[in-house]
Amino acid sequence: MNELFLGIDIGGTTVNMGVVTPEGRVLVEKKNPSVVHQGVEFVLARIAETVEKCRDIVGSDRSIVAAGVGVAGLVDGKNGLLHQATNFPGWLDVPLTAKLADLLKLPVTMDNDANVAALGEYTFGAGRGFPHMMMVTLGTGVGAGLILGGQIYRGAHGAAGEFGHITIDVNGPRCACGRAGCVEAYVGSNGILRRLRELLSQFPDSSLARYDFGTLTPKEIHQEARAGDELAQLVFHDAGESLGYGLGTVVNLLDIQRIVLGGGVAAAGDFLIKSAQKILDRVALSESDNFKIVQAELGELAGIVGAASLAMSLK
């Protein structure tokens, strides 16, 4: 089969693109700064230029037959509209699918970036074989994409998957959304740093004390955890427990089989997952053998592969 699919992942900072085979293998990958402040037409024109470069690299023996797009924002995939996106000023009710289809001369489909990443992991990654799964992306924010019955679940208004804003403690710290005690307030990057500050005085010999907290990242905390730093390990343990309580709500409600963790914070791996799984086993009503928390397999390619998987549904 000579058909190939284009995956486009439009984020607030970077546009990632790739040419993907029907088996999920990325043949070509390209990255561009998003420069969303330049406006819709400018960004889409740059995407079209990059797609032409991808076509040149692939050559004439194989052809790109459809494109899928994942974009961070409130998306109406059925009608091809990006209603709004927090990090895309001025991008309101943009007919993104139609505009890209005209520029690329291809059928184009679109969905929210979290849904697209979840589809990628379900189709070609850590969620394979589990038609009831959720992918949770842990970074500055905490988002999720749901696959139920082997299909993306979007909800009545396309807003399903706001896992980061499940309340796990009404008296908890303030979240960026303005509410108190959200999962994100504990498990997002800022929540992890807040917990680190709270505990630091109890660990005066911690290697983390020498870091500038204004620039410290979860990646560096993970490095120290791997090196044996007790404070770093405790911070991820506490974040994992908070994550586990939030996941317990989802598992009890939707009978999820597999939870896939992606994003920068998820790179902490077992330091986070073991404590999350322990709490989940405690609070979930079904047998623990029925659900498992695992790390994502596709890494930074999840958005590209997921968007391409979306495009495959057009054929």
Q: Residue 312: which pLDDT band, with cuts at 50, 70 and 90? A: very high
Q: pLDDT for 183-195, tens place per residue?
A: 999 999 999 999 9
Mention every residue, 6+ apart, whose C-beta is less than 8 A from residue 289.
Answer: none
Q: Could you report the per-residue pLDDT of 270-291, keeping only the tens digit for each?
A: 999 999 999 999 999 987 777 8
Encode pLDDT of 16-43 as tens digits.
999 999 999 999 999 988 888 888 999 9
Q: What whole-number percentage of the chain has pLDDT above 90?
A: 71
**Angstrom distance (rounded) from CA 127 to CA 66:** 24
* Measured distance CA(218)–CA(57) in Å, rounded: 36
Q: Say what the pLDDT of residue 101 is.
A: 95
Largest CA distance in the chain: 63
Q: Based on the number of CB atoms within 10 Å of its own CB, is 65 exposed (0-12), middle (13-18) or buried (19 or more)? A: middle
Whole-angstrom Cα distance, residue 178 to residue 149? 33
* Average pLDDT value for the chain: 92
CA angle, 169 then 73 then 291, to 5°: 50
How far apart are the C-alpha atoms of 50 and 3, rounded to whole Å?
19
pLDDT of residue 267: 86
Report the pLDDT value the prediction gives residue 171, as an integer from 0 to 100: 95
Per-residue pLDDT at 26: 96
What is the reported pLDDT for 1? 59
Half-sphere exposure of 148 (CA within 13 A, CB side): 14
Q: Is the pLDDT of residue 13 over 90?
A: no
Percent of the chain with pLDDT strictly greater than 70: 99
- In 10 A of CB 252, how many CB atoms? 14
Q: How far is it, in rounded angstroms, from Cα 218 to Cα 268?
A: 8
| pLDDT score for 260 | 97
Domains of the chain, with CATH numbers? 3-121+301-312 (3.30.420.40), 129-296 (3.30.420.40)
Residue 293 predicted with pLDDT over 90: yes
In Å, what is the CA distance from 95 to each residue of 17, 79, 114, 189, 298? 20, 8, 19, 33, 29
In the predicted model, is pLDDT for residue 308 greater than 90?
yes
The full DSSP string for 187-202 is HSHHHHHHHHHHHHTT
Range ranked top by mean pLDDT from 6-15, 168-177, 239-248 = 239-248
Q: What is the pLDDT of residues 51-108, one digit of tens each?
A: 999 999 998 888 999 999 999 888 888 888 998 876 788 888 899 999 999 999 999 9
Give the mean pLDDT of 286-300. 87
Q: Average the pLDDT over 145-160 and give the result.
A: 91
